[in-house]
Every structure is written in C-alpha cells, then in structure tokens.
Structure 1
Amino acid sequence: MAYIHDVKYYETDQMGIVHHSNYIRWFEEARMDFLTKIGYPYDKMEEMGILSPVLAVSSTYKSVIKFGERVEIETKVISFNGIKLILGYEIKKLDSKDITTVGESEHCFVNEQFRPVNMKKLNKDFYEAVVSNLE
C-alpha cells in the first residue's frame, strides 16, 4: 500500500537534503496509514488494549531527497505470525519513481502490561487483514 509524503523544509539538514532520522518517522507514518487502510487505525488498537512496540528498524539510503519533493512510501508485509510483524518500506520519488530508500521495521503485539499477545487468537479479523497483504 502506498502513502504519499510531501517533504517539509524542517525535515532537511544544512545540506538541503532530508535528514536521515526523518526516514524512520516516515516509516511510522506509512505504517499508521497501512493500519488505517486495513481497517485497524492505531487508536482502535489502543482502545482494544493492544500496543505494538518497535523491536528493530533499519534503512538503506540509495539517493537523496530534497525539500519540496513528493515521495511515495510503499509498505509491504514481509512476515507475520500473529505476534511478530515485519514490514518493508520502499521510498520512491513521486515524479521519477526512482527508489531512494528501502527499509524494514519489526514489531510485536502486547497488552497494556506489555505481555505478548497472539493476534491470530485475539483478533482473527486483524490477523487475516494483515496476512492478506503478505508479499
């Protein structure tokens, strides 16, 4: 699923390019958009007493992005076993479709006491919505 982001001036550094820390924020924006599109916005998850902390995140930068450019962030489900979810991201410049960045984030699902929960058992509809997007 694709998410569009307009690069803001404050996201750039002194060299006029997007600072590397912002890509992690963009992954989060794309992840929140993905959850909304499958019918489970994060606030709905929290209302259910489910949290999804980040376990790991990585990114590889292939080319620069500058202020004023628009990017498309494609979010893909790499794996999901009900407890651990790994998402992949591919950032492309909207005008050229050139891939600028690839990355992954790894998450788990826990209750409010931070005990792991199995979404396959707890919420089968959510589990199936995520699995239906497996690459």
Structure 2
Amino acid sequence: MFISEIEVEVRYADTDAMQVVYHGQYVIWFEIGRTRLIKDLGFNYADMEKKGFVSPVVDIRLSYKQPFRYGETATVRTWIEANSGIRTTYGYEIVNEKGDVCVLGSSVHTIVNKDTFRPVKFKKEFPKWYHVYEQKKKPV
C-alpha cells in the first residue's frame, strides 16, 4: 500500500474564534492530500479534466480526535482504500508534529463526463491510472 504525505501549515485564516482549525478546513486538507497522492503516483487531475471528465465527491467522512491550532504543522497522509472501477475510496490520516493522530477520514469519488455528469468506468477511460491504483491500494 502506498501512502502519500504532505505538510500543511495551519494559517490563522484556517481557524475559528477559538483559534482551533475550523472543521470544514479538513475537507480542503483532504483535497490537498488526494492531489499530492495522484501526483506522487505520476498522474495529474487537470489532465482528467482536459479529457472532459471530473471526479466528484459522493461521500465524505471525518472523525476528529484532537484539534489543530494556529501555528502548528499538520501532516496529511493519503492512500487508496478501495477502487472498484466505478468508485474510488481514499483514506486520510492527519497527524500533528508529535505524530498524534488528530483526524481520520475517507472520501469516495466517481468519475463522470463533465458535460452530462453521467458516470464512466475508470478502467476504460484511464486504464494506466486504474492499473496503478490497483497496484498501490490497501490490501484487502
């Protein structure tokens, strides 16, 4: 299983009135992690869009363990939890500088035609990408 990592500096703008990272910010961090994973595996999401496809989120889950505060550094770890060829589930773990797990989560994506929003088969439209995901995903 391949795990991608990227650091994110907690900005003041990421926090709420209590100086704790606003809960919606974690979804953005998931996106940063997912984009890094795709790039680390040799692909580019923008290339998918150029071919007329997008990959919307169909489900997202977050579990908060500890807060992040302004000035801290978060490490977003991302992996492919599952890949059915229709839907891909990404797993996330966000840890603090001490290595403590602060957030766990997952997001489920499908690939659709940008114009019709009808689902397409990942394996058919992006066979190389699909094959790499199959090799790098979490073992069953």
The verdict on a shared fold, with TM-score over 0.5 as the criterion, is: yes
Deviation at residue 22 of structure 1 after TM alignment: 0.3
**2:38 corresponds to which letter in structure 1?**
L
CA distance, structure 2, for counterparts of residue 65 and residue 40 of structure 1: 30
Q: Partner amino acid for 2:56?
A: P
Give the 4+ runs in structure 1 shifted more than 3 A: none
Q: Does 2:59 align with 1:53?
A: no
What is the DSSP-based 3-state SS (H/G/I as helix, E as strand, rest coil) of the residue aligned with 1:121?
helix
Tell me, which stretches of 5 or more residues in structure 2 are unaligned?
Answer: none
Structure 1 residue 77: Cα displacement: 0.8
Aligned to 2:86: 83
Task: Trace 1:1-135 onto structure 2 (pairs within 5 A).
Answer: 1-93=4-96, 95-112=97-114, 113-135=116-138
What letter matches 1:77 in structure 2?
I
Residue 132 of structure 1 aligns to a residue whose secondary structure is: helix
Contiguous gaps of at least 5 residues in structure 1: none
Q: Percent identity?
A: 33
1:129 Cα deviation after fit: 1.6
TM-score (norm 1): 0.95
CA apart distance, 1:102: 0.1
The CA deviation at 1:80 is: 0.5
> Across the two proteins, how many residue pairs are aligned to each other?
134
The alpha-carbon deviation at position 114 of structure 1 amounts to 1.1
Query: Which residue type is aligned with residue 19 of structure 2?
Result: G
Give how far 1:131 is off.
1.6
Q: How far did 1:24 drift?
A: 0.7
User: In structure 2, what is the Cα distance between the partners aligned to 1:34 and 1:111?
Assistant: 22
1:52-104 CA distance string (max 9 Å, x none): 001011100000101111111110111101110111100001x2000000001
Task: State the AA in 1 paired with 2:108.
Answer: E
